[in-house]
Structure 1
Amino acid sequence: MQKVKDTLPVYNICTIKGSDHFHDDIMAEPFSLYLQKHPNLHRPHGHSFYHLLLFTKGAGFHTIDFERFPVEVGQVYFMIPGQVHSWEFEGELDGYVVNFSEELFHSFLSDDHYLERFSFLGGVTGENIVTFNESELKEAIQLLSSVVNETQVTRPFTKDKVRLLMLSLFILAGRSENNKNKAGDVLKPGLQLLFRFRRLVNQHYSEYKLPKDYAEMLSITPNHLNTLCSNLLNKSAGEIIRERIVLEAKRQLVNLDASISTIAYSLGFTDNSYFTKFFKKYTNLTPEEFKKSFNGY
């Protein structure tokens, strides 16, 4: 991890897992042990890897991409590379934490976009949290306990066993009553198209800011795209694009050493004053005010 004064830490998996883990692409531990090893991770930080945490004990709050959520027993949250989070926990905490690289499943699955079938792995805050019922929680604990055991040793087919266990957990979360309307129907054409749109926005938000640009990439009309977004998300395509730009602006603004003009340019704004007006319109704060408020985040 590269440390720069007043810059948000972004951890890679090697930094987090330490030398007592045998596998480069994944680490898994009981959460209480993880907290003992990394007492400063409650402060705002980002990851270059996927991260999930299942709570089996505890209270307090966790914040993901500037949205605050209460901790609940049976809750699991999923984060993708690039998201920012912090913790405000209360009392004794336990559960399971798993960090894994983007490459873990690449050679295992023929579909490079398979994980995107699960909406909780789409990087959309609020959709990345699942609360298991009692029977689901019991199964999730069994799966994650097995993942922890497998990652503590090296033996034949360990990584494949871990992949199968993780995919079983994803399917369990996708089938959960709490999440059934978000993940279980992802093979429907409309949802497939929506996921493709979101993926394109994640790739091109700094270049293309109009729905017609994405509609052209998807080989559909702008009206079709807007209708799709409205029916499935109650938002226009333009709102989804603007929300992604604002989120990225927030992520970059918490790096306190970065100048406003540099951030504006990286987001495709050639006029710094227009970026300021854009940001304030959707957050009620100027970029400078948001930077100052970050110390309280």
Structure 2
Amino acid sequence: MYRIKQYAFHKTKYGEELLIDVVRLKNIKKYLKEDAIHRLGYYDITLITDGYGKFKIDEKEYYVRKGDIIFSSPNQIRWWDIDNITDGYALIFEKEFLLTFFNDPDFLEHLSYFKGSHAFNKLSLKEEAAHIIRLINEIKQEIDSYKEKDKHILRALLYQILKSLDRIYILRNSSSGNTENVKNRHADTFIKLVDIGYKQNHSIRHYADKLCITPNYLNELIKSAMGISAKQVIQNKLIQEAKKMLLYTSDSISDIAASLNYENTSYFIRFFRKQTGHTPLQYRNTNKP
């Protein structure tokens, strides 16, 4: 099986443990020459300042240029055009860095652009770009002169960036349909449960039972919140994972079917073709990097 390179956070880069950093894209491109397809074990907000090209997050492909931001959560599969995207800033941090500051353990998941696998990973900045770059540079300056007592300054600056981008993201996407509008507790919890248990549990009833509501009521909630059925949310997650495994591993179709809890490989193939219009093998042969 092909193993995707995973990068862990360099926690002691500045001596004392520090779980936030700012790096320039032009300085890290050389490390991606051999491991172009990779995962990060931490959160990443990449702001493009020069160049243009493709940026992939899982199976989603975006065309980015100066002023665009790409968001990625831990363990998402990434690839970007290191030859044509020439520079930018990557603001990286671990969840733990904020958890010691906030009482809300789900703060990051409540941000529109980090809402699980359903989020749209790209945001195009306009006049706001200069403001965000200024805040990123303030973080970099604080890090360069880092002292233990300055962590609260860094957290405050990071919080300002996260909330500012959340506000811009919601305003930008509210009319285009990319933003998440999951406004009630049951719908939010359902999405989290699916993200955790989709491989083992494909049935709506399983999740409805977890929420102590009926399958029909769950379906009504999800349709109202997301515009698609609860079943389609589960199926979308399964297809998303199947596509990642087809593109980034050498696992056989039967092994992929088994890992997604399909006892019958033929049923998995029919399901995949119904959802995508292609068999798994056709999809792999056509799209594999």
What is the TM-score with the length of structure 1 in the denominator? 0.83
- Determine the structure 1 residue equivalent to 2:155: 163
Deviation string, structure 1 residues 167-206 (Cα, Å, up to 9, x no partner) = 21111011113145789997x853x433222111001101
2:283 corresponds, among 260, 285, 290, to 290
Q: Quick one: structure 1 residues 183 and 140, their matched pair in 2 at CA, closer, same or farther if it must change by over 3 Å?
A: farther
How far does residue 89 in structure 1 lie from its aligned partner after superposition?
5.4
Which residue of the partner structure matches residue 9 of structure 1? 5
Residues 162, 101 of structure 1: alpha-carbon distance in 2 compared, 3 angstrom cutoff: same
Structure 1 match to 2:196? 203
How far apart in 2 are the matches of 1:294 and 1:11? 24
| Conserved? CA contact 1:63–1:87, under 8 Å | yes
How far apart are 1:162 and its partner, in Å?
2.2
Report the equivalent of 1:72: 65
Secondary structure of the structure 2 residue equivalent to 1:165: helix
Q: 1:44 aligns with which of 37, 42, 46?
A: 37
Name 1:178's counterpart in structure 2: 172
Aligned length: 286
Aligned partner of 1:138 in structure 2 is: 130
Instruction: Report what 2:25 is aligned to.
Output: 31
Report the aligned-residue RMSD: 2.9
Paired amino acid for 2:158: M
* Superposed displacement of residue 62, structure 1: 1.0
Q: Secondary structure at the match of 2:61?
A: strand
Deviation at 1:293, TM superposition (A): 3.6
CA distance in 1, matches of 2:34, 2:54: 14
* Residue 271, structure 1, aligned to residue 267, structure 2: no
Q: Quick one: structure 1 residues 7 and 42, their matched pair in 2 at CA, closer, same or farther if it must change by over 3 Å?
A: closer
**Paired residue for 1:241?**
234
> Which sections of structure 1, spanning at least 5 residues, go unmatched?
none
How far residue 49 of structure 1 moved from its aligned partner, in angstroms, is 1.7
Q: How does 1:83-232 map to 2 (within 5 A)?
A: 83-88=76-81, 91=84, 93-124=86-117, 127-134=120-127, 136-176=128-168, 177-179=171-173, 189-190=183-184, 192-232=185-225
Q: Note if contact 1:245-1:267 (Cα within 8 Å) is conserved in structure 2.
A: yes
What code does the residue aligned with 2:105 have?
Answer: D
Using the TM superposition, give the Cα deviation of residue 252 of structure 1 relative to its aligned residue in structure 2, in angstroms: 2.5
Contact 1:59/1:72, CA 8 A, preserved across alignment:
yes
Which residues of structure 2 form unaligned runs of 5+?
none
- 1:213 deviation in Å? 2.0
Q: Is the CA contact 1:21–1:151 (under 8 Å) kept in the aligned structure 2?
A: no
User: Within 2, Cα distance between the matches of 1:196 and 1:41?
Assistant: 39
The one-letter code matched in structure 2 to 1:27 is D
AA aligned to 2:265 is N
The whole-number CA distance in structure 1 between the counterparts of 2:191 and 2:235 is 12
* SS state at 1:254 partner: helix
Q: Which amino acid in 2 is paired with 1:6?
A: Y
- After superposition, the Cα gap between the structure-2 partners of 1:256 and 1:293, relative to the gap in structure 1 and judged at 3 Å, is farther
Kindly indicate whether the alpha-carbon contact (under 8 Å) linking 1:23 and 1:151 is maintained by their aligned counterparts in 2.
no
Query: 1:59-92, CA deviations, whole angstroms, 9 ceiling, x for partnerless residues?
Result: 1121222222111332212111221121125646
Superposed structure 1 runs of 4+ greater than 4 Å apart: 17-24, 89-92, 179-186
Aligned partner of residue 13 in structure 1, secondary structure = coil
